Amino acid sequence: MFAVIKTGGRQYRVVPNDVLEIGKIAGDVGTIVQLGEVLVLGGDTPVLGTPTVAGASVAAEVLQHKRGAKVIAFKKRRRKNSRRKRGYRDELTVLRITEILADNAKPTVGPRPKKEKVAAPADGEDAAPKAAKKKAPAKAPAAKKAPAKKAAAKA
């Protein structure tokens, strides 16, 4: 089953477990948000919305909030000594689609638990010993050269 959703002025075709970047939306990292503007519900019998499908929504987990790549708008008028430089970075939200819901259903899948880091064993048996860091020897001061005698060089 797939759905076409609209958010931030753009349309996305999504299926469960898709990861996509959209314009920033409200929601803390790890929470489930519902996107309500579903234009098409696909499957065996597709349902087209007029303009949206009534009672349909898409549940998604917020993975991350981040900023997009830099976009620089540079304008120059030649021979006029006129330059304008302007730039910005989009605010983005990374989502993982968890469910496609119909008939005013509520999301059943909660946020996924975060993976825990595997701790190294406390015993020194399995762990390889780490080599101690050695400091580089201090550099000796450079010896100053004695000034050469110009008279001896001419003779």
pLDDT averaged over the chain? 86
Is the CB of residue 82 less than 8 Å from the CB of residue 38? no
pLDDT at res. 136? 74
Q: What are phi and psi of 132, to 5 degrees?
A: -70, 140
118 located within any domain: no
91 located within any domain: yes
19 located within any domain: yes
Q: Which tens digit of pLDDT belongs to each residue from 124-139?
A: 555 555 666 777 777 7
pLDDT at res. 105? 86
125 located within any domain: no
d(CA 2, CA 45): 11
Please state the rounded mean pLDDT for residues 74-78.
Answer: 97
What is the count of structural domains for the chain?
1
Whether the predicted model's global pTM rises above the 0.85 cut = no
Please state the rounded mean pLDDT for residues 10-38.
Answer: 94
* Residue among 38, 44, 42 at smallest CA distance from 56: 38
Residues contacting 52, CB < 8 A, separation 6+:
6, 36, 37, 38, 39
Please state the rounded mean pLDDT for residues 18-35.
Answer: 94
Domain span holding position 45: 1-104
Lowest-confidence pick of 21-30, 38-47, 111-120, 146-155: 146-155
Please state the rounded mean pLDDT for residues 71-84.
Answer: 97
Query: Is 121 or 69 the better-scoring residue by pLDDT?
Result: 69
- Within 10 angstroms of residue 94's Cβ, the number of other Cβ atoms is 16
149 located within any domain: no
54 located within any domain: yes
